[in-house]
A = this chain, B = another copy of it.
Amino acid sequence: MNGAEALIETLAQAGVEVCFANPGTSEMQLVAAIDRQHGMRAILGLFEGVVTGAADGYGRMADKPAMTLLHLGPGLANGLANLHNARRAGSPVVNVVGDHATYHLQYNSPLTSDLAGVARPMSDWVKASRSERDLPQAGAEAMAVATTYPGRIATLVAPANHAWTEGSASVAARPAPAAPTVPAAVIEEVATLLREADAPKAIFLGGRALREGALEQAGRVAAATGARLICETFPARLQRGAGRVAVERLPYFGEQAQDYLQDFKAIVFCGCEPPVSFFAYPGKPSRLSPDGARTARLASAEEDAERALTDLADALGAPAEPALAQQAGTPPIDGGRLDPVKMGAVIAAALPKDAIVTDEANTSGIALFPYTAGAAPHDWLTLTGGAIGIGLPLAVGAAVACPDRKVIALQADGSAMYTCQALWTMAREKLDVTTILINNGSYAILNIELMRVGVQNPGPKALSMLDLRNPAIDWVSISEGMGVPARRATTSEELREALDEALADKGPHLIEVLI
């Protein structure tokens, strides 16, 4: 077999079932190999940010990597922003990027670039294969890297001549290293801290500590110690809803987050680093935890969070039953013209059991998270790395990973535009995604940020750079142009009806909400 076939067989045998692809000429041998590979599904994205964002969504929900197939340096470059988000989410992704034949690089043909240089800033591991025999070896190595707990971004550069040369063979998968566990001494130290510290105290949870099993254990710790459970602002995947252990979410703006944390006497971090301000602002601190609090790290993002919380709960002699179980229930719905609050109530009431919510609603989504706290159990996926344009691709990937679950994409208009091509993939693959496109006609967050960085009296040129109304974007048109049926909602009643219709069907829908 040729190098391409050996690589694809290696990845398939290691468990890769899905390839999100936007190939070009230098990937044609890989396309042919995927074509022949039983058990590997190929899903086309019409822009590379869709491809990498979908791989992120898939990785968050499947807890194993999809493969991406990208075309040379510029193709990878188009996918970098969502790889940045995926990396911040701790998602497992294996990127395979075709390159020119090795002997062709010296001629500097038009599409030549420093491919490894493009890959490096957003990858945990980058390797160019050295031969047709090395290509599957490098593929196995990429899988081992990507599946390292909680998940990493591995980028493999596949020169075209290694792909087309015969004489290669697939290789066995290398087992991923087990997630490191937290030493008993650390567990004991944290237990002592929690026992001794004055109230209020908190466990600050992020990464894998936000999965149902880990939260159950965190709830036991809360039962034993009275600690509050706080969730990082942008969780990769938070399992929540009625009956699950509930967490409070740290506010986005630095000064609010600082206020939120300032009274705690002790904070234990698990599954993430201590929180910092998203951006710096003149005269405001970057670190958000209060200087006076006693702090300790139970587990980093790379250590087994659920195990650490279990060990901690046991060390504390915590009861089997967790505290902070979420009561079922959603707020009442007010009729009439939609605003962010009414929208939140309608969506919370309609949220199906086991829904997957991808949240890139930004400023307009203010009521969505709190209002859905007591909705049916669901997963909540957010913009982990701040690079907008993740929401729709994330929904694509989540729907591919979980075909039997409803995906609800809560999507701000400005962010949606970056990767609007994802709608086409939803249509092609008939993905069960209902997109709620919240059209407020602006980069609303930037109007706030303009003030926050100290700009007074912005003029028309500045405001025009934050405004999306001239002309207004018609998302129903765009969605239908890409094959996703769409309708518009301006009142609670219309949104309810549109949601009922969309959720009753299995397949993609878009509801444009004007607020």
Q: Which residues of B contact A101 (CB under 8 A)?
A: 280
Is the C-beta of A193 less than 8 angstroms from some C-beta in chain B? no
Asked whether, in the complex, the Cβ of B471 is within 8 Å of the Cβ of A234, the reply is no
Q: Which residues of B contact A287 (CB under 8 A)?
A: 107
Binary contact track A153-164/B, C-beta < 8 Å → 1, others 0: 000000011001
Binary contact track A380-418/B, C-beta < 8 Å → 1, others 0: 000011110100000000000000000000000010011
Interface residues of A in 415-470 (CB under 8 A from B): 417-418, 420-421, 424, 427-428, 445-446, 449-450, 452-455, 458-462, 464-468, 470
Asked whether, in the complex, the Cβ of B471 is within 8 Å of the Cβ of A475, the reply is no
Is the C-beta of A291 less than 8 angstroms from some C-beta in chain B? no
Q: Which residues of B contact A421 (CB under 8 A)?
A: 417-418, 420
Q: Which residues of B contact A467 (CB under 8 A)?
A: 44
Tell me the bound Cα distance from A449 to B122 in angstroms: 30
Interface residues of A in 351-396 (CB under 8 A from B): 384-387, 389
Given known contacts A427-B471, A449-B25, is B74 in contact with A104 (CB within 8 Å)? no
Option from B32, B73, B466, B468 in Cβ contact (under 8 Å) with A455: B32
Asked whether, in the complex, the Cβ of B276 is within 8 Å of the Cβ of A42, the reply is no
**CB closest residue in chain B, given A472:** B483
Number of copies: 2
Tell me the bound Cα distance from A110 to B286 in angstroms: 12
Is the C-beta of A117 less than 8 angstroms from some C-beta in chain B? yes
Tell me the bound Cα distance from A473 to B420 in angstroms: 13
Count of A residues near B, CB < 8 Å?
A: 101
Interface residues of A in 194-237 (CB under 8 A from B): 234
Which stretch of A75-83, A172-180, A492-500 is in the interface?
A75-83
Binary contact track A66-101/B, C-beta < 8 Å → 1, others 0: 000000011101101100110010000000000011
- Minimum CB–CB distance from A473 to chain B (whole Å) comes to 6
Asked whether, in the complex, the Cβ of B473 is within 8 Å of the Cβ of A483, the reply is yes
Is the C-beta of A482 less than 8 angstroms from some C-beta in chain B? yes
Q: Which residues of B contact A57 (CB under 8 A)?
A: none
Asked whether, in the complex, the Cβ of B46 is within 8 Å of the Cβ of A468, the reply is yes
Asked whether, in the complex, the Cβ of A25 is within 8 Å of the Cβ of B446, the reply is yes
**CB closest residue in chain B, given A77:** B80
Q: Which residues of B contact A31 (CB under 8 A)?
A: 450, 455, 458, 462, 465-466
Q: Which residues of B contact A427 (CB under 8 A)?
A: 471
Asked whether, in the complex, the Cβ of B28 is within 8 Å of the Cβ of A455, the reply is yes
- Minimum CB–CB distance from A276 to chain B (whole Å) comes to 4
Q: Which residues of B contact A36 (CB under 8 A)?
A: 459
Asked whether, in the complex, the Cβ of B34 is within 8 Å of the Cβ of A461, the reply is yes
Q: Which residues of B contact A477 (CB under 8 A)?
A: 477-478, 480-481
**CB closest residue in chain B, given A119:** B121
Interface residues of A in 3-61 (CB under 8 A from B): 21, 23-26, 28-29, 31-32, 34-36, 42, 44, 46-47, 49
Option from B103, B110, B273 in Cβ contact (under 8 Å) with A280: B103
Is the C-beta of A337 less than 8 angstroms from some C-beta in chain B? no
Q: Which residues of B contact A296 (CB under 8 A)?
A: none
Q: Which residues of B contact A84 (CB under 8 A)?
A: 73-74, 77, 113
Given known contacts A35-B459, A46-B417, A80-B74, is B111 in contact with A278 (CB within 8 Å)? yes
Please provide the 8 A-B residue pairs with the shortest distance between their CB atoms, ordered closest to farther.
Answer: A471-B483, A477-B481, A74-B387, A101-B280, A35-B462, A77-B80, A104-B280, A478-B481
* A residues adjacent to B (C-beta < 8 A): 21, 23-26, 28-29, 31-32, 34-36, 42, 44, 46-47, 49, 73-75, 77-78, 80-81, 84-85, 88, 100-101, 103-104, 107-111, 113-114, 117-118, 120-122, 160-161, 164, 234, 273, 276-280, 282, 286-287, 384-387, 389, 414, 417-418, 420-421, 424, 427-428, 445-446, 449-450, 452-455, 458-462, 464-468, 470-483
25 contacts between A and B (CB under 8 A): A21-B465, A29-B453, A29-B455, A32-B458, A34-B462, A35-B459, A36-B459, A42-B462, A47-B417, A73-B80, A77-B80, A80-B80, A80-B118, A109-B276, A110-B234, A110-B386, A111-B278, A118-B121, A160-B279, A160-B280, A161-B280, A420-B420, A427-B471, A472-B483, A474-B481
